[in-house]
Amino acid sequence: MKPEKERLALEKLKESKRYYARFKTKELELLKAGYEADEEDNKQIGVIIALITIGASFMSLSANLMMKVNTYLLPLALLLIYIIGISGVTYMGWITSVRNVKTTRTRKIIDIVLAERAAAKAKQNPPTPTP
């Protein structure tokens, strides 16, 4: 990665960290829970996309087997459905991966802010020695 891009990425991360530092701890915990739920949703969407891909593969196999039929209409229709299916699966996979990266990044920033607050609180309230 180029140094300029790294600097820009670092500035964006710092800006995001400052943004989430404005929230109260309880609000951050709720946001974190929401982002964790979104990550789980994205994983489930990924599984559904994988199942659609398997179905598209079977459609491709059936299209290849149908080539023995004398009419060209059915194999061409199946091939068109296959191409549309693969394009849709690829697009949905791309959207899901981008969404999952953004969700994970935001959740990790919230984790950092919460960890810094916990460390600051631990410094203010040192443990009392037991007699």
Q: What is the pLDDT of residues 59-73, one digit of tens each?
A: 666 666 666 655 666
| pLDDT of the residue at 70 | 58
Entry pTM = 0.61
Residue type, 130: T
| pLDDT of the residue at 127 | 66
| pLDDT of the residue at 63 | 65
Would 8 be classed as within a structural domain?
no
Would 20 be classed as within a structural domain?
no
Domain count, the chain: 1
Distances (CA, A) of 120 to 37, 114, 128: 28, 10, 16
Would 54 be classed as within a structural domain?
yes
Would 126 be classed as within a structural domain?
no
Domain span at 68 = 35-109
Name the stretches of the chain with pLDDT < 70: 1, 59-75, 126-127, 129-131
Would 96 be classed as within a structural domain?
yes
Of 105, 91, 92, the closest CA to residue 42 belongs to: 92
| pLDDT of the residue at 65 | 66
Rounded distance between C-alpha atoms, residue 60 and residue 82, angstroms: 6
Would 116 be classed as within a structural domain?
no
Would 80 be classed as within a structural domain?
yes
Would 14 be classed as within a structural domain?
no
